[in-house]
Amino acid sequence: MNPDRSRNTDWLSRSLDVVWHPCTQMKHHEQLPLVPIARGEGMWLHDFDGNRYLDAISSWWVNLFGHANPRINGAVADQLGKLEHVILAGFTHEPVVRLSERLRELTGLSHCFYGSDGASATEIALKMSYHYWRNRGQGTKTGFVSLRNGYHGETLGALSVTDVPLFRDTYAALLSRTHQLPSPDWRLGEPGETPEQVAVRAAAALEDYLQGHHATTAALILEPLVQGAGGMAMYHPRYLREARSLCDRFSVHLIADEIAVGFGRTGTFLACEQAGIRPDFLCLSKGLTGGYLALSAVLTTDDVYAAFYDDDTARGFLHSHSYTGNALACSAALAVLDIFEQDGVLAANRGKAAEMNRRCAVLREHRAVRHFRNTGMIWAFEVDDPDPLFARRFYERALGRELLLRPLGHTVYFMPPYVIEPEQMDHLVQGTLAVLDDMQRGR
């Protein structure tokens, strides 16, 4: 290594040489910095040159209890000495059994099927729903409905029910045909309309659609309470209650994609709890392992499980991923659930959210800020700025203020790990304010 080059520069150029980074136009890295991270600790990411960045987006919404969390580290290290992985077809192991039992307790859904990333959970839920109807003699139910602006992952099945043009349009020719219905996003309200009224109006559109198409519709898939990647759109729980009862009335499955919003993100352990409903399929990932290892789970009911239970092999759910139910990932997930239980995380988060909201008053009142909103441990707002490259400029300036923030278009959001402390909240809010002011002044 050339001793004159900083170690950041070295890793940066080696990475750009060989790593094709996700969700990235690689040419942009001719201008945008790539940040090599040497280590993480709690809320902070440290590079090789002694700089640090507050991880205000939980590293793509996965991290709950900080980087290098000693309790999760300990659980994974302990498991590493016993069993790293075993094929889950024909075999089982202690962490996957314990995790499934605990998820059943927490969700009220009795059977747990595992995948790896979030998108694989979406694929599993869609295939299981279709296959359920087929096994029940209703093979015409092949269609899926989702919400406008919804996001469920980027493999072809998941992308087919995703409605984010930037990710979807290029691949449109490869996708299955699905139908998108009005989102209950409260920002779409007519003047004078409350969030609940927006939800009721969107539910009426769902009712109209199902009235005409229930015979050919297998499932409705949605992100409960917050549509994340589509721009942190938030909505009233009434929509979920209406959707549940319409799905029951028209014999259509409800798939709750809680990949981003589960594990306390919206204030309750599951977002669906705020509507008092239970879905037919529940997709979990991201926070499931506290941001440690790729693991996803689809939980479902006795009724669905029974529809596959048969002497005929082909009526079974013949779907698999090599790392399904990985023992290390399950041990991380068990440690995450222990932390929830032992530390009273949901109650503590209510206090943290209130503290954060007090600090955010300066942002809420900022002249460039629109639609400031908060659900649980998610905060978001739009910035009035004509620059189409706003997101990139903001991201870069935020790095300059020791902040990892990745706006979605003109939407700036905070989704910090739950271990955020008051001084880090100050750092986040004051840093964001400074970036906004700099950008307004054109600096």
Q: How many CA atoms lie within 13 A of 131 on its CB side?
A: 19
β-strands 403-404, 217-222: how paired?
Answer: unpaired
Applying the rule CB under 6 A, the residues between 377 and 396 that interact with ligand PLP are none
> 123 or 242, CB closer to ligand PLP?
123
Tokens of 402: 């020791």
The dihedral through the CA atoms of 180, 181, 187, 190 has a sign that is positive
Q: Does 163 bind ligand PLP (CB under 6 A)?
A: no
Residue type, position 69, single letter: N
Query: Could you give the 3-state DSSP secondary structure of residue 375?
Result: strand
CB of 152 to ligand PLP, least distance (A): 5
> 246 or 259, CB closer to ligand PLP?
259
CB of 229 to ligand PLP, least distance (A): 5
Q: Does 257 bind ligand PLP (CB under 6 A)?
A: yes
CB of 31 to ligand PLP, least distance (A): 26
Helix (H) or strand (E) holding 33: none
CB of 383 to ligand PLP, least distance (A): 22
188 to 227: interface string for ligand PLP, x by CB under 6 A: -----------------------------------x----
The residue nearest ligand PLP at its CB is: 118
Please state, in angstroms and rounded to a whole number, the distance separating the CA atoms of residues 95 and 73. 15
Applying the rule CB under 6 A, the residues between 97 and 156 that interact with ligand PLP are 117-119, 122, 151-153
275 to 294: interface string for ligand PLP, x by CB under 6 A: ----------x---------
> 242 or 258, CB closer to ligand PLP?
258
> 259 or 345, CB closer to ligand PLP?
259
When binding is defined by CB under 6 A, the residue of 128, 181, 259, 334 that contacts ligand PLP is: 259
The dihedral through the CA atoms of 66, 70, 74, 75 has a sign that is negative
Q: How many residues bind ligand PLP (CB under 6 A)?
A: 14
Please state, in angstroms and rounded to a whole number, the distance separating the CA atoms of residues 58 and 43. 8
Please state, in angstroms and rounded to a whole number, the distance separating the CA atoms of residues 65 and 72. 9
Please state, in angstroms and rounded to a whole number, the distance separating the CA atoms of residues 416 and 422. 12
β-strands 179-181, 143-147: how paired?
Answer: parallel
Please give the DSSP secondary-structure letter assigned to residue 225.
S
Please state, in angstroms and rounded to a whole number, the distance separating the CA atoms of residues 288 and 103. 10
Name the site residues for ligand PLP (rule: CB under 6 A).
117-119, 122, 151-153, 223, 228-229, 257, 259-260, 285
